[in-house]
């Protein structure tokens, strides 16, 4: 087992991909914990789809395929999308889930229109663009890993610096507002960090699956602990583990894409956690309810026995 891991690691290209996926999993796990607690887990999916027109505009304006530029376009589109969602929910009777769905589909539709415009256009060399739909971790190079490392660092520093504020906003926004915290701004900041994580992830795992990196590790971590700091750390570790598993399996099996395997690894981690976690897991809960039931039955049995003994005594006394 160690032999083939060593063999994989000896390939410098694979090493970069592995490192990139590790960093990606770690940072999205961390920021995902906050969106999970704020019940905005599907924000990742929405923002990933909404980033498409940004990428296309960046390409249309410059006619060059540079990763940094695409990320910038995606970032701008993502920020516009978050404002659109909060605007629709604030000024109309549309609820948040529908607002997210509207922004997701309309932005993505506009993005597809632009994508086909580019494909039909004269420049024609759009071959790099469609990689953003399904992701292509195998095409990651050293500079991409540097970008991801930078993203990961920014997310970590931001989460550490505003940990207390994020915690309050996630658990009790009303109380946070009462304490005089700028709740609206902090909420927008969490969304901004989510956009950054999403944009970094799109290239590796693609538009649809980037959502999973934000939700699944966080949900898995939630099963194990009630402490936020521990949960954030666990979610990061789960994310990193999934990223590593995805890379290793996809290098072993030909034609196996990295992104989906990463997502499935995260899902397996979640399923394991949901079953086996000591307090919130399914097995533990089943066991507890069985114990409670048998304890109750035992008690019931004991009471019945004493009752019948008393009854017998009474009857004997009367006789």
Partner 1 sequence: MATFWIILTAILVSSACAILGCFLILRRMALVGDAISHAVLPGIAIAFLWSGSRDSLWMLLGATVFGLLTVFFIQSLQAGGLSSDASIGIVFTALFAVGVILISLNAQHIDLDLDCVLFGEIAYVQWDTLTLGGTDVGPRAVWMLGITLLVILVVIGLFYKQFKLCAFDPALAAACGIPVVLFHYLLMGLVSMTSVASFESVGSILVVGMLIVPAATAYLLTDRLGKMILYSVLAGAVSSVGGYLMAYALDASIAGCMVAVAGILFVLALLLSPKHGIVFRYARRKFAAR
Q: Where are the alpha helices (DSSP H) in 92-206?
A: 96-120, 131-134, 142-161, 163-171, 173-178, 183-205
Segment lying near partner 1 (by CB under 8 A), choices 8-16, 140-148, 208-216, 311-319: 208-216
Q: Does residue 57 bind partner 1 (CB under 8 A)?
A: no
| Residue 186 CB, nearest approach to partner 1 (Å) | 20
| Residue 116 C-beta: closest distance to partner 1, Å | 4
Handedness of CA 115, 71, 207, 146 (dihedral sign): positive
- Under the binding rule (CB under 8 A), the answer on residue 19 touching partner 1 is no
Q: Is 226 helix (H, G, I), strand (E, B) or coil?
A: coil
Q: Whole-angstrom distance between the N-terminal and C-terminal Cα of the chain?
A: 81
Site for partner 1 in 241-270 (CB under 8 A): 253, 255-257, 259-261, 263-264, 267, 270
How far lies 23's CA from each of 47, 120, 136, 286, 292, in Å?
20, 37, 16, 36, 44
Binding segment for partner 1 (CB under 8 A), chosen from 65-73, 195-203, 213-221, 310-318, is: 213-221
Rounded to whole angstroms, the Cα distance separating 210 from 52 reads 13
Please select the residue that binds partner 1; options are 114, 176, 186, 199, rule is CB under 8 A.
Answer: 114
Name the residue nearer to partner 1 (CB basis): 93 or 316: 93
Q: Pattern 118-137, binding to partner 1, x per CB under 8 A?
A: --x---------x--xx---
Q: At 141, give phi and psi (nearest 5°).
A: -120, 180
- Cα–Cα–Cα angle for 246, 248, 254, rounded to 5 degrees: 90
Asked if 105 interacts with partner 1 (CB under 8 A), we say yes
94 lines the binding site for partner 1 (CB under 8 A): yes
Residues at the interface with partner 1 (CB under 8 A): 36, 39-42, 44-45, 88, 91-95, 97-98, 100-102, 104-106, 108-117, 120, 130, 133-134, 208-209, 211-212, 214-216, 218-219, 253, 255-257, 259-261, 263-264, 267, 270, 274, 280, 282
């Amino acid at each position: 087992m160690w032999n083939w891991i060593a063999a994989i690691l000896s390939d410098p290209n694979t090493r970069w991909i592995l490192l990139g996926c590790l960093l990606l999993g770690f940072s999205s796990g961390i920021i995902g914990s906050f969106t999970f607690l704020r019940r905005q887990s599907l924000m990742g999916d929405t923002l990933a789809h909404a980033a498409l027109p940004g990428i296309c505009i960046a390409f249309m304006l410059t006619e060059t395929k540079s990763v940094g530029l695409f990320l910038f376009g995606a970032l701008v589109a993502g920020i516009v999308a978050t404002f659109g969602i909060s605007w629709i929910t604030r000024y109309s009777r549309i609820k948040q889930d529908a607002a997210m769905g509207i922004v997701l589909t309309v932005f993505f539709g506009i993005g597809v229109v632009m994508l086909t415009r580019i494909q039909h256009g004269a420049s024609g060399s759009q071959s790099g663009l469609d990689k953003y739909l399904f992701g292509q971790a195998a095409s990651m190079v050293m500079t991409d890993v540097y970008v991801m490392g930078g993203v990961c660092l920014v997310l970590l520093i931001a989460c550490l610096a505003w940990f207390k504020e994020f915690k309050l906003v996630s658990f009790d926004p009303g109380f946070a507002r009462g304490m005089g915290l700028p709740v609206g701004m902090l909420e927008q900041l969490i969304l901004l960090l989510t956009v950054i994580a999403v944009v970094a992830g799109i290239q590796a795992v693609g538009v649809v699956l980037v959502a999973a990196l934000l939700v699944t590790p966080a949900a898995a971590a939630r099963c194990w602990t009630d402490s936020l700091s521990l949960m954030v750390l666990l979610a990061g570790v789960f994310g990193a583990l999934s990223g590593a598993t995805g890379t290793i399996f996809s290098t072993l099996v030909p034609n196996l894409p990295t992104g989906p395997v990463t997502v499935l690894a995260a899902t397996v981690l979640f399923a394991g956690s949901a079953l086996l976690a000591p307090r919130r897991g399914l097995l533990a809960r089943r066991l507890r309810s069985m114990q409670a039931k048998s304890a109750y039955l035992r008690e019931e049995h004991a009471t019945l026995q004493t009752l019948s003994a008393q009854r017998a005594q009474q009857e004997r006394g009367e006789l």
